[in-house]
Amino acid sequence: MISGRLRVALFVALCCAVLTPAAAIGFDAVHHQSLTLAPAGAVAPLPAAPRPAERPGQPPERAQPVVPQPAAADSDRLPTGIAAALDAQTAALLRGDLDGFLAPVAPDNTALRTALTRRFTALRALHVAVWRAAVGDLTGNADGVWSLPVRVTYCFVVPDCVPLSVSIPTAWTVSAGTTRLITFGDSSAADLGPRPWEASDLRAAVGRRVLVASPARYAARLPALLAAAERAAAVTDRFAKWGKPPGRYVVYLAGPGEWGKWYGVPQQSWVAAFAMPLTDVATEVVLNVDHVDARDVTDVLRHEFTHVVTLAGVDRTYPHSWWLVEGIAEYVRVTGGPRPFDGLGDVRKLVHNGLWAGDVALDGPPPAATASDVNGRYGVAYLAVKRLADRYGEAKMLAFFAAVVRGGEPLDTAARSVFGVPWGTVSADCAVAISATVAGK
């Protein structure tokens, strides 16, 4: 499992910008230290302020009132009641029994019943195949309300996936021997939530390689999205060189009401898509319905899915390998599609404006970069990776990518090991090839 802070750092490097022309959509990969794309709430919390020392001449701080705890007998009994209720709820979800899923909720708690009905509908649409709930540490208060986190482990479509998990805050009461669920929150506080199925009324379609989902109002788009995603997966599966491709790629289509809400990550208006690493082997993709249409979606997903398979299992950041991370995604996008490279015009602008000095090992675009400059940098990254494949063969290009991005080796060490020459020689050759392409030679 990768930590939440590392997940955020990796996410920031995998945001997809709205670029021009529309087909040339790539990821805006900025340094993970940048605050430009840092998700709200993603900054590590400050430690609690220490209790101030008592000063001479001042009265000591008033002691905090002690919160009464329920009797020991209730403490022994209630966790069992909650666990039993959660077990029954789990069984009801997996068999498709809405009434059973809502059974722990009082009939007059209409708000919670409505929210859980939406969640049940979304999970069933996603073909939930595994759902396990484990209770955490129980705490009580003077009102007789019991609070505890519930760690939910889940899989969609297939029961043998590498499971995901979220921590959900819940609250319960007990009266006359009846255990009632009064709050069932979401994973916002602990696990990059809310997940789409926690926040939205979803519909879904399942293919051989991809699971796609959207809010109900976009359900008519799902068949076309699934077909495009399956085409993209057929290409990107070939680049899963360092482990099996995912059992299903997971793609969510977000409308304005969902964009920047799912996963608790506000988004810039120019972002067309992002890939969210949830574990070191599971990454979910989100598309912005306002910026990705039917003409572009397969291109976008070839790029996105390339990140999913080439970065799977990586539990480290790669802040100075932007050009390789994005270059290989563009390489797969272009070589796996029917159209030639479409960003040469922006590469020429970048060169003619003096914004590229010949170093192919580019970092991500600065926050103030124009769309054309961003496109140009992506184009340089693509052309550099393509030159590595053309000059040394695709297998060695992939080995070099693995050494630098996945293994963290310095460029010169990797170049000598894989290509048999210093990085300076490789870089100069790439720069000459790019310059010749820009000049139309």
Domains plus CATH for the chain?
1-34+200-315 (3.30.2010.30), 72-191 (3.10.450.50), 318-441 (no CATH)
User: So what's the pLDDT on residue 207?
Assistant: 97
User: So what's the pLDDT on residue 317?
Assistant: 80
Residues 20-50: tens digit of each pLDDT: 333 333 333 322 222 222 222 222 222 222 2
Residues 307-330: tens digit of each pLDDT: 999 999 888 788 789 999 999 999
Widest CA span in the chain:
85
| Local confidence band at 13 (pLDDT 50, 70, 90 cut-offs) | very low
Average pLDDT, the chain: 83
Examine the pLDDT at 145 and tell me if it is beyond 80: yes
Q: Express as a percent the part of the chain with pLDDT over 70.
A: 81
User: So what's the pLDDT on residue 295?
Assistant: 82
Instruction: Tell me the average pLDDT across 242-247.
Output: 91
Examine the pLDDT at 267 and tell me if it is beyond 80: no
Residues 62-71: tens digit of each pLDDT: 343 333 344 3
Residues 188-240: tens digit of each pLDDT: 988 788 999 999 999 999 999 999 999 999 999 999 999 999 999 999 999 99
| Local confidence band at 78 (pLDDT 50, 70, 90 cut-offs) | low
Taking a C-beta distance cutoff of 8 angstroms, is the pair 414, 403 a contact? yes
Examine the pLDDT at 10 and tell me if it is beyond 70: no
Taking a C-beta distance cutoff of 8 angstroms, is the pair 262, 250 a contact? no
User: So what's the pLDDT on residue 333?
Assistant: 95
Examine the pLDDT at 60 and tell me if it is beyond 90: no
Residue type, 261: K
What whole-number distance in Å separates Cα of residue 366 and Cα of residue 128?
41
The per-residue DSSP string of 24-83 comes to: ---EE---TT-SSSPPTT-SPPPPPPPPPPP-TTSPPPPPPPPPP---HHHHHHHHHHHH
